[in-house]
Homo-oligomer: A and B are copies of this chain.
Amino acid sequence: MKKGFCRSALFTDLYELTMAAVYFEREMFAPATFSFFIRSYPVNRRFFVACGVEEVLSFLENFRFQEEELAYLEGLGLFKPRFLEFLARLRFTGEVYAMEEGTIFFAGEPLLEITAPIIEAQLIETFVINALCFETLIASKAIRSVIAAKDRVVVDFSARRTHGVDAALKVARASYLAGFSATSNTLAGKIYGIPVTGTMAHSFIESFPSEIEAFSAFAEVFPENTVLLLDTYDTLAAARKAVQIAKKLEAQGKRLKGVRLDSGDLVELSRKVREILDAHGLDYVKIFASGGLDEYKIAEVLAKGAPIDAFGVGTKMGVSADAPYLDAAYKLVSYDGRPVTKLSSGKKTLAGAKQVFRREENGLYREDFVGLREETLPEATPLLKPLMKGGERCAPARSLEEVRKRVKDELSKLPEPLKEIHPGEVFYPVRYTEKLLTLQRQIEEEIRRKELGL
């Protein structure tokens, strides 16, 4: 399956190219280290699930400008032929330190650091931020539905409402990785090997002369895979029709898989539908709910005792509706061996290549330290691992199933208060090492002296 323009090297901001042209003219080819981190937590989030690293590595492996892209750049009239020839030959030759996908991490911690000749590290900025921000945003949103649903099945229904097709695919992958069971998105099923599932739409019911005829037709063609949509006309009347269908299937030795509620009061309707089904010995028929669901709604209906077995979660997860972006940055922290920083108000960055160290206690995450890359901390696990050297992967790519399992393991080590749907003022402790802070003070002092004459 061709990724087409979705991994184009030309997917970059123009200023990356103009800055690169200046580096080129000045022969600035020394290595730069850029650090990607999330500055703060969105509403009700207290942790993040690392996602998008695999997409970044694939992009870097295949980074090159196509002829037609260079022709476009030439046509802009901004760049010299010598620089365009340089771009034509340019490949990514740097190294990547990053947390593996599925790692749980926190605000202020670098998720990924890239060290490469500054032109390479600069040109990839737009793609790197885009992929890491979005995929981490969605994995960190989707896991909240998984937590809220407890052990119930949660399925990705978001394809029609995501921001474009690339987003729909990334949402299907990120939500599966976070613990969703399946997706309705067939293309995502194909590309990532995620299980696909689905029920039926109102249009299907309406296209038949009557609801019962629509139900019958579907059950005839898919006797093993029928989930009847109940709310086209009247949910309880439809539930009684579902009983007829289930009995017909039983007569053939088959079982109706489920029914779906897509509107109305889910608590009341699920109870009444459950009663109708149970009254006819259909306790095996699952109740599936959908329609504007997210972790808040799932937690609410389950708290009220709704007998719902599975949830279809769409729009609000697929766009992370309560927090549709992350406050993240990809910042230069070192150039040519010289640690750098900026002083912009409210947007300070910490200088130097870094490492994140995690301490556990009694099988739970206790505290993290952000330090310099070369530091070692006793009894702490370094989380940033070398995943690429010299432009080539140096660690095995994990399967999506492995990553999904990792998320589950990590989640079991996360202190409970951080998993709450409304966590309040609880934060995981992330500290900075003395060495990191000392370096930062030195650099800031130096800048103030040099740039501000202080």
Interface 9-residue window, one of A88-96, A126-134, A244-252, A430-438: A126-134
Interface size range of chain A in the complex: 35 or more
> Which residues of chain B have C-beta atoms less than 8 A from A451's C-beta?
210-211, 233-234, 237
Is there a chain B Cβ closer than 8 Å to A303's Cβ? no
Which residue on chain B has the smallest CB distance to residue A165?
Answer: B6
Interface string of A149-171 (1 = CB under 8 A from B): 00000000101111111111110
Interface string of A360-399 (1 = CB under 8 A from B): 0000000000000000000000000000000000000000
Is there a chain B Cβ closer than 8 Å to A204's Cβ? yes
- How many Å lie between the Cα of A343 and that of B202 in the bound state? 10
Whether A162 lies near B225 (C-beta < 8 A) is no
> Which residues of chain B have C-beta atoms less than 8 A from A319's C-beta?
163, 319, 324-325
Which residue on chain B has the smallest CB distance to residue A233?
Answer: B451
Which residue on chain B has the smallest CB distance to residue A447?
Answer: B233
Interface string of A338-349 (1 = CB under 8 A from B): 001111111100
Whether B196 lies near A76 (C-beta < 8 A) is yes
- How many Å lie between the Cα of A293 and that of B135 in the bound state? 23
A250 CB, min distance to chain B CBs, angstroms? 21
Is there a chain B Cβ closer than 8 Å to A108's Cβ? no
Which residue on chain B has the smallest CB distance to residue A199?
Answer: B15
Residue of B68, B163, B342 near A162 (CB, 8 A) is B163
Interface string of A1-31 (1 = CB under 8 A from B): 1111111101111111111011101101000
Residue of B17, B332, B345 near A263 (CB, 8 A) is B345
> Which residues of chain B have C-beta atoms less than 8 A from A211's C-beta?
451
- How many Å lie between the Cα of A222 and that of B232 in the bound state? 62
Whether A130 lies near B324 (C-beta < 8 A) is no
Is there a chain B Cβ closer than 8 Å to A78's Cβ? yes
Whether A217 lies near B26 (C-beta < 8 A) is yes
Whether B186 lies near A159 (C-beta < 8 A) is no
> Which residues of chain B have C-beta atoms less than 8 A from A316's C-beta?
325
Residue of B32, B69, B190 near A190 (CB, 8 A) is B69
> Which residues of chain B have C-beta atoms less than 8 A from A3's C-beta?
4-5
> Which residues of chain B have C-beta atoms less than 8 A from A7's C-beta?
165
Is there a chain B Cβ closer than 8 Å to A100's Cβ? no
Is there a chain B Cβ closer than 8 Å to A122's Cβ? yes
Which residues of A from 158 to 190 have beta carbons under 8 Å from B?
159-170, 184-187, 189-190
Whether A159 lies near B126 (C-beta < 8 A) is yes
Whether B331 lies near A203 (C-beta < 8 A) is yes
Given A22-B218, A166-B165, A452-B234, A13 contacting B203 (CB threshold 8 A): no
Is there a chain B Cβ closer than 8 Å to A48's Cβ? no
A144 CB, min distance to chain B CBs, angstroms? 16
- How many Å lie between the Cα of A314 and that of B452 in the bound state? 30
Which residues of A from 61 to 112 have beta carbons under 8 Å from B?
68-69, 72-73, 76, 78
Is there a chain B Cβ closer than 8 Å to A207's Cβ? yes
A340 CB, min distance to chain B CBs, angstroms? 4
Residue of B167, B189, B264 near A163 (CB, 8 A) is B167
Given A262-B344, A324-B321, A207 contacting B129 (CB threshold 8 A): no
- Please give 7 more A-B residue pairs, beta carbons under 8 A apart, in addition to A161-B325, A234-B343: A4-B5, A13-B159, A15-B200, A72-B186, A129-B161, A133-B160, A264-B346
* Across the A-B interface, the 8 shortest Cβ-Cβ residue pairs: A4-B4, A15-B198, A164-B166, A203-B332, A163-B163, A14-B198, A166-B166, A163-B167
Instruction: Give the B-binding residues of A (Cβ under 8 A).
Output: 1-8, 10-19, 21-23, 25-26, 28, 32, 34, 68-69, 72-73, 76, 78, 118, 122, 125-127, 129-131, 133-134, 157, 159-170, 184-187, 189-191, 196-207, 210-211, 217-218, 220-222, 225, 231-234, 237, 262-264, 315-316, 319-321, 324-325, 331-332, 335-336, 340-347, 447-448, 450-452
